[in-house]
Homo-oligomer: A and B are copies of this chain.
Amino acid sequence: MAGSSFGNIFRITTWGESHGPALGVVVDGCPAGLEIDEEYIQHFLDLRRPGQSSYTTPRKESDKVTILSGIFEGRTTGTPISMLVENKSQRSSDYSDIAGYYRPGHADYTFDSKYGFRDYRGGGRSSGRETIGRVAGGAVAMKLLEEVGISSTAFVRSIGPVTISEENFDKDQILKNPLRMPDAAAADRARAYLDNLKKDMDSSGCVIECRIDGVPAGLGDPVFEKLSASIARAVCSIGAVKGFEIGDGFGAAACRGSENNDAFCLSEDGSGIVKASNHSGGLLGGMSDGSQIVLRAAVKPTPSIARTQHTVTKAGREIEINIKGRHDPLIGPRAVVVVQSMASLAIADALLMNMTARVDYLKKIYGK
């Protein structure tokens, strides 16, 4: 089944394995006339690049993007935008030992179960490098969203037991500390926690949050194409994501209707409708309500840990293993931009879909 595409109207198709010659993405359905260039896209790819701190893998990958189609004289033409990143650092020998057994927490066993065999080098298609295509595609989506005043902020909300405090929230901190936490004090505590984990040859999970501003009310459809459902699919399609929340999320399940309902009121200048609170996280009945969209992803700890682990070989023998190689003790900081990309792709698609929601709009475009 063709499972490497995301989106209905604004659609990306990613391709590539960890150790093939290149990875890439085809962005199809982007409206014509969007000004964009490689530099804009490279900015987001750089945010997911490894080697940015001692908490992420020290591999050096330049991950330079090349645009191969769909842009003419600085603007999108409406035809597919093909982007490619070469794999410069393919040290296959590092991975030869994992060909024969199934690493706990990884997709090795499920890959073999599905396809009968697998490209075992560096995780193959299940490698985190697959997200290069998502981020390059997501960058185009973000540029499109900018055109109508939609912007987003993503960050690490918690690492293991350490969570940011809303009072200390400082957006500028996100790019200042390598843990991408918008709270300098929490980042310090998380750093201490991670230093201990590293000594223990262990890894940590984390929660990533993304907030999107400027989304007009009415995006998303009332049933299966709820914007909440599309974003859920988008975010849960990222490897290692095991949980997802919109607004108060699981907190809403524990509270009362009188606490969770957001009262509607008039905006200060009386010109529009706003909400007195935002427990809904910007979505009601699956459609955007004009408030900030707030979502969270629970990311499991990196399964590649240096400790001895128990597993089974392809041939059916139980063994103890020690995984070598270059791995992230914490995937979170690099995954921030991936979450932001996927959310942006879902919203860009909903933005375009919503253009066909009313006969009025039809007349705006085709009317004489």
Chain B residues whose CB sits within 8 angstroms of the CB of A93 once the complex forms: none
Bound Cα distance from A364 to B242, whole angstroms: 33
Chain B residues whose CB sits within 8 angstroms of the CB of A299 once the complex forms: 252-253
**Among candidates B31, B68, B118, residue contacting A359 with C-beta atoms closer than 8 Å:** B31
**Residue pair B224, A4 in contact (C-beta under 8 Å):** yes
Contact digits for A161-193, partner B, Cβ 8 Å, 1 yes 0 no: 100000000000000000000000000000000
The listed residue with most B CB atoms (<10 A of its CB), out of A4, A23, A24, A241, is: A4
**Among candidates B81, B229, B298, residue contacting A233 with C-beta atoms closer than 8 Å:** B229
Bound Cα distance from A33 to B234, whole angstroms: 29
A180 CB to nearest B CB, Å:
15
**Among candidates B104, B231, B285, B312, residue contacting A266 with C-beta atoms closer than 8 Å:** B312
**Residue pair A105, B236 in contact (C-beta under 8 Å):** no
Assess whether A38 is interfacial by the CB under 8 Å rule. no
**Residue pair A242, B236 in contact (C-beta under 8 Å):** no
Chain B residues whose CB sits within 8 angstroms of the CB of A230 once the complex forms: 233
**Residue pair A250, B207 in contact (C-beta under 8 Å):** yes
Chain B residues whose CB sits within 8 angstroms of the CB of A225 once the complex forms: 1, 3, 237
Chain B residues whose CB sits within 8 angstroms of the CB of A302 once the complex forms: 257
Interface residues on A, range: 35 or more
Q: Within residues 137 to 156 of chain A, which ones have a CB less than 8 A from any CB in chain B?
A: 144, 147-148
**Residue pair A265, B318 in contact (C-beta under 8 Å):** yes
**Residue pair A256, B13 in contact (C-beta under 8 Å):** no
**Residue pair A264, B104 in contact (C-beta under 8 Å):** yes
**Residue pair B242, A237 in contact (C-beta under 8 Å):** no
A65 CB to nearest B CB, Å:
13
**Residue pair B17, A11 in contact (C-beta under 8 Å):** no
A320 closest partner in B (C-beta)? B263
**Residue pair A15, B362 in contact (C-beta under 8 Å):** no
A310 closest partner in B (C-beta)? B263
**Residue pair B32, A217 in contact (C-beta under 8 Å):** no
Complex interface: stretch among A43-51, A55-63, A196-204: A196-204
A142 CB to nearest B CB, Å:
14
**Residue pair B148, A286 in contact (C-beta under 8 Å):** no
**Residue pair A222, B111 in contact (C-beta under 8 Å):** yes
**Residue pair B258, A250 in contact (C-beta under 8 Å):** no
Chain B residues whose CB sits within 8 angstroms of the CB of A340 once the complex forms: none
Assess whether A37 is interfacial by the CB under 8 Å rule. no
Chain B residues whose CB sits within 8 angstroms of the CB of A220 once the complex forms: 110, 114
Contact digits for A2-27, partner B, Cβ 8 Å, 1 yes 0 no: 11111111110111110011111010
Q: Within residues 106 to 130 of chain A, which ones have a CB less than 8 A from any CB in chain B?
A: 106-107, 109-111, 113-119, 124-126, 130
**Residue pair B253, A242 in contact (C-beta under 8 Å):** yes
A329 closest partner in B (C-beta)? B257
Bound Cα distance from A273 to B109, whole angstroms: 9
A20 closest partner in B (C-beta)? B69
Chain B residues whose CB sits within 8 angstroms of the CB of A3 once the complex forms: 28-29, 221-225, 353
Bound Cα distance from A222 to B2, whole angstroms: 11
5 interchain pairs, CB-CB under 8 A: A3-B221, A33-B116, A77-B125, A102-B273, A114-B220
**Residue pair A286, B239 in contact (C-beta under 8 Å):** yes
Assess whether A303 is interfacial by the CB under 8 Å rule. yes
Chain B residues whose CB sits within 8 angstroms of the CB of A1 once the complex forms: 8-9, 29, 221, 225, 353-354, 356-357
**Residue pair A261, B32 in contact (C-beta under 8 Å):** no
**Residue pair A218, B114 in contact (C-beta under 8 Å):** yes
A23 closest partner in B (C-beta)? B69
